[in-house]
Structure 1
Amino acid sequence: MRKGVKVTALLLGAVLLLGLAACGKKNVQNPQTTAAGSENTAETTAVLKQQIKVAALKGPTAIGMVQLMENAKEQTAKNDYEFQIAATADEFSADLIKGNVALAALPCNAAATLYNKSNGKIRILGINTLGVLSILDTGDSVQTVADLKGKTIYTTGKGTTPEYTLRYLLSSAGLNPDSDVTIEFKSEAAEVAAVMANAGTEEVIAMLPQPYAATVLMQQPDTRIALDVTEEWEKLNGSDSTVVTGVLVVNTEFYKNNRQAVDDFLKEYKSSVQYVNSNVDGAAQLVEDFDIFKAAVAKKAIPKCNITLITGQEMQDKVEKYLKVLCDANPNAVGGQMPDDGFYVK
C-alpha cells in the first residue's frame, strides 16, 4: 500500500513538473527570435526614411540648416539626409540637374540661370537668405557708391548674385563697371577676406557676404562697413524690392515623385531657421561642429545674415522683382531671360 502511494505521488509530481515546464515555454521567447525581430523592426524603420541629398554653400545658406543637419546626424530627422557643403554652386550644379542632388541652396540668379539652361529641370521652393553683402573699407574714402570710382574692389561670385548686384549699383551711380572701377574676382570669399587681413597700411576695398565680413571685422578692427548693399539697393528700388541672395531649389523630377518628402524637408528647414535666429549661441556652436565657420565668427554674423524661409506668392513676388532688375541690366545675369511661372513652387 505504501509503495502504491509513493508511485502515485511520483507520477503526480512528474505530471506537475511537465505542466509547469509547458507553461514556462509559452512565456519564454527564443533570444535569437527576439533579436531577429528587433533587426526586422529596425530595417523596416530604416526603409521608411527616404535617402535625400542636400547641397548648400559654405555661408548663410548652410547656416540656416544646421539644426536639421544635427537632427540628421542624430537620426531624428524625418528622412535620411546627406549634406554637401560646397564653396561654390558649380560643385553640385550638374548633380542637381541630374537628380543626384535632390535639394540645394544656392544664389538666386544662379537658380534662374540653371532653370533656363536646363529647360526647367529645377524649381524654386523658397527664399532662404536675403541681403548679406557689405562693402568694407580699410580706410575712409568710401561714403557713397559714387566714391568707388577709380577704386579696386575685391569680391567673389563672378557670374552670380554678388557680381550682378555690384554692377547694378555701380551703373545706377553713373559708373561704368568695366572702366571706372576694377573688379578683382577671387574664387572664394575666404580669399577676399585674406586680402583684407593682409592689407597693412594700404587701403583695401572689398565686397563680402556674412559671415566673411564678420571675420574681417574681428581680425581688422580698423576696417569698417562702408556700404550696406541691401540698403543701397532699396534706396534705388524702394523697400518692396530687396536683394534676394539665396534660394532653396528642388530637382523637378524629384519634386513630382516625392512631394511629401519635400514638404517634410521644408517643415524641418523652417524649424531649423527659427532655431538659428532665436538661439544664436547654440546655432553658432553647431556651425563650428559642422566645420562651416568658427563659433565666435558665427555668433557675430548670424544676426546680420538675414536667414529666413519665404515661400508661396510672397517668395515669387520678391524673386521676380529682384531678377527683373538684374535682367534689365544684363539678361545674362538670369540665363538670358526671365524665368517663366513654372520656375516657382507655390
Structure 2
Amino acid sequence: MVLIFLFTIALLNADEFKKVEKIVLSGPPASVSHPLLHMIESKALKDLAKKIEFKIWKNPDELRALILRGDIDFVAVPTNVAANLYNKNIDIKLLNVSIWGILSIITRDKNKKSLKDFRGSEIAIPFRGDMPDIVFKEIVKAQGMDPKKDFKLIYLSAPSDAMQMLITRRVDHALLAEPITSMALRKTKSFPISLISPDLYRSVDIQKEWGKTFNTEEKIPQAGIAVIGKKDDYIIKRVNEEYKKSLKWYKTHPKEAGILVNKYIPMLMPEAVADSIKYTQLNFVPAAEAKKDLEFFFKVLKKSDPKSIGGKLPDSNFYYNK
C-alpha cells in the first residue's frame, strides 16, 4: 500500500509539472561539459522542456555576457569562476562538483618527475592569473620556491596555444588540463606507446602535488554545474540527477564518449577524449557536501589573488542544498 501511495504521489507531481519552452545548457569546451552533451544526445530532459540547447563559452567574459543577457539556465563552470560571479551579485548557485583532477605538466624530458626538477625551465601556462596558474604558483611557493625567479613562465591565451608550442618544439614543458594533454600526446604519436620513442611524457600530477604540499587529499574541486537565476526545484533536481547519470556513462564508455564529444566539439579528437577519461578525476559530489573542500581551495586562491573568487569566500547560499 505504501509503495502504491508513493507511486501515485510521484505521478501526481509529474502531472502537475508543465513543460517549459526551452532549457539552455552551457559550458566551455572542457571535460566538465561533456556529460551535458550526453544529456542532450540521450534526450534526458525531453520531459522538462520542448527544446534543449547547448551553448559553448570560451572565457569568463563570454560566460558573463550569456548570463547577463539571460541566455542560459545551467552552466558547466570552474568553481572559482562561479564563486566570483556569485560575489558580484549574479544569481548563481553551485549544484555539484564533478572535476577533481585534470591538471598536469607535460614534458619532453622523461627524467623530470617533480616540480623542483623544472627549476630554471620554461613552462607554458594558459591564462595568466587564472586558476591553473594560481594553483601552480601556490604549490611551488609552499614547496619553498619562487614562481617568478625559479621558473620561466610563458603565458598564453588558450590551452590550444600551449599545446601548439609543445608540438612545434617552441617549448619543452607545459601545464595543461585534460583532454588537451591527451591531444598533445596523440598529435606527437607519444601515445599509445609504440616502437618509436615518445616525444612527450606525462610528468607532474598537480593534484598529487596539492595533496602532498597542503597535507590534504590528492584532489582539487575544480569544476561543476551551476544553475542561473530562479528555476523550478523539480527542474533543478532533474538536471542534477541526469548530469550524475551522464557523468557515470561518460566514465564507463570512453570510446563512445570520445565520438560524442567530437560531434559537438570537432577540435577535440575522439581518441584523445577517450584517453583523457582515465587521467581525469571524475566524481559527482553535491555542492553542499563539497563545501569543506571548496572553502579550503578558495582560501588558497584568495591568498594568492582575491579577485579570482570575487574578493571573499561565498556564503552558504552559494551552495545548492535541497
Give the secondary structure class of the aligned counterpart of 1:126. strand
Q: Tell me if the contact between 1:66 and 1:283 (Cα under 8 Å) persists in the aligned partners.
A: no
Code of the residue aligned with 1:272 in structure 2: it is S
Q: Tell me if the contact between 2:79 and 2:222 (Cα under 8 Å) persists in the aligned partners.
A: yes
| Residue correspondence of structure 1 range 103-182 to structure 2 within 5 A | 103-116=74-87, 118-140=88-110, 142-182=112-152
| Residue correspondence of structure 1 range 303-322 to structure 2 within 5 A | 303-322=278-297
For residue 248 of structure 1, what is the aligned residue in structure 2? 225
User: What is the CA–CA distance in structure 2 between the aligned matches of 1:82 and 1:150, rounded to whole Å?
Assistant: 47
Look at both structures and tell me which one has the larger radius of gyration over its CA atoms.
1
User: What is the CA–CA distance in structure 2 between the aligned matches of 1:275 and 1:314, rounded to whole Å?
Assistant: 22
For residue 28 of structure 1, what is the aligned residue in structure 2? none
Residues 199-235 of structure 1: CA distance to partner in whole angstroms, max 9, x if unpaired?
1xx7611000001100111223221112000010010
Q: 2:269 aligns with which of 294, 311, 318?
A: 294
Gaps of 5+ in 1: 1-46
TM-score (norm 2): 0.84
Gaps of 5+ in 2: 1-17, 191-198
Code of the residue aligned with 2:65 in structure 1: it is A
Code of the residue aligned with 2:210 in structure 1: it is W
User: What is the CA–CA distance in structure 2 between the aligned matches of 1:130 and 1:77, rounded to whole Å?
Assistant: 31
Code of the residue aligned with 1:291 in structure 2: it is I
User: What is the CA–CA distance in structure 2 between the aligned matches of 1:178 and 1:110, rounded to whole Å?
Assistant: 25
Residues 182-207 of structure 1: CA distance to partner in whole angstroms, max 9, x if unpaired?
322222111111111111xx761100
For residue 175 of structure 2, what is the aligned residue in structure 1? 207
Deviates more, 1:293-302 or 1:149-158: 149-158
Code of the residue aligned with 1:273 in structure 2: it is L
Per the TM alignment, residue 127 of structure 1 is displaced from its structure 2 partner at its CA by: 0.4
User: What is the CA–CA distance in structure 2 between the aligned matches of 1:315 and 1:50, rounded to whole Å?
Assistant: 32
Per the TM alignment, residue 135 of structure 1 is displaced from its structure 2 partner at its CA by: 0.4
Q: Tell me if the contact between 2:123 and 2:153 (Cα under 8 Å) persists in the aligned partners.
A: yes
Pick closer, same or farther for the CA change 1:183–1:238 going to 2, 3 Å. same
Give the secondary structure class of the aligned counterpart of 2:288. helix
Q: Tell me if the contact between 2:288 and 2:320 (Cα under 8 Å) persists in the aligned partners.
A: no
Q: Tell me if the contact between 1:89 and 1:106 (Cα under 8 Å) persists in the aligned partners.
A: no
1:85 partnered with 2:56: yes
Residues 315-344 of structure 1: CA distance to partner in whole angstroms, max 9, x if unpaired?
212211211222233323322111111211
1:340 partnered with 2:315: yes
For residue 283 of structure 1, what is the aligned residue in structure 2? 257
Residues 12-48 of structure 1: CA distance to partner in whole angstroms, max 9, x if unpaired?
xxxxxxxxxxxxxxxxxxxxxxxxxxxxxxxxxxx72
User: What is the CA–CA distance in structure 2 between the aligned matches of 1:94 and 1:87, rounded to whole Å?
Assistant: 11
Per the TM alignment, residue 141 of structure 1 is displaced from its structure 2 partner at its CA by: 5.5
For residue 247 of structure 2, what is the aligned residue in structure 1? 273
For residue 16 of structure 1, what is the aligned residue in structure 2? none
Per the TM alignment, residue 274 of structure 1 is displaced from its structure 2 partner at its CA by: 1.1
Code of the residue aligned with 1:264 in structure 2: it is R
For residue 48 of structure 1, what is the aligned residue in structure 2? 19
Pick closer, same or farther for the CA change 1:156–1:309 going to 2, 3 Å. same
Per the TM alignment, residue 120 of structure 1 is displaced from its structure 2 partner at its CA by: 4.8
Q: Tell me if the contact between 1:111 and 1:247 (Cα under 8 Å) persists in the aligned partners.
A: no
For residue 325 of structure 1, what is the aligned residue in structure 2? 300
Give the secondary structure class of the aligned counterpart of 2:153. strand
TM-score (norm 1): 0.78
User: What is the CA–CA distance in structure 1 between the aligned matches of 2:285 and 2:152, rounded to whole Å?
Assistant: 35
Code of the residue aligned with 1:226 in structure 2: it is S
1:189 partnered with 2:159: yes
1:67 partnered with 2:38: yes
For residue 236 of structure 1, what is the aligned residue in structure 2? 213
Superposition RMSD in Å: 2.1
User: What is the CA–CA distance in structure 2 between the aligned matches of 1:187 and 1:97, rounded to whole Å?
Assistant: 24
Pick closer, same or farther for the CA change 1:89–1:308 going to 2, 3 Å. farther
Per the TM alignment, residue 97 of structure 1 is displaced from its structure 2 partner at its CA by: 4.3
Q: Tell me if the contact between 1:57 and 1:89 (Cα under 8 Å) persists in the aligned partners.
A: no
Code of the residue aligned with 1:127 in structure 2: it is V
Code of the residue aligned with 1:58 in structure 2: it is P
User: What is the CA–CA distance in structure 2 between the aligned matches of 1:147 and 1:272, rounded to whole Å?
Assistant: 39
User: What is the CA–CA distance in structure 2 between the aligned matches of 1:143 and 1:77, rounded to whole Å?
Assistant: 50
Q: 1:260 aligns with which of 221, 234, 247?
A: 234
User: What is the CA–CA distance in structure 2 between the aligned matches of 1:57 and 1:77, rounded to whole Å?
Assistant: 25
User: What is the CA–CA distance in structure 2 between the aligned matches of 1:121 and 1:241, rounded to whole Å?
Assistant: 31
Q: Tell me if the contact between 1:97 and 1:121 (Cα under 8 Å) persists in the aligned partners.
A: no
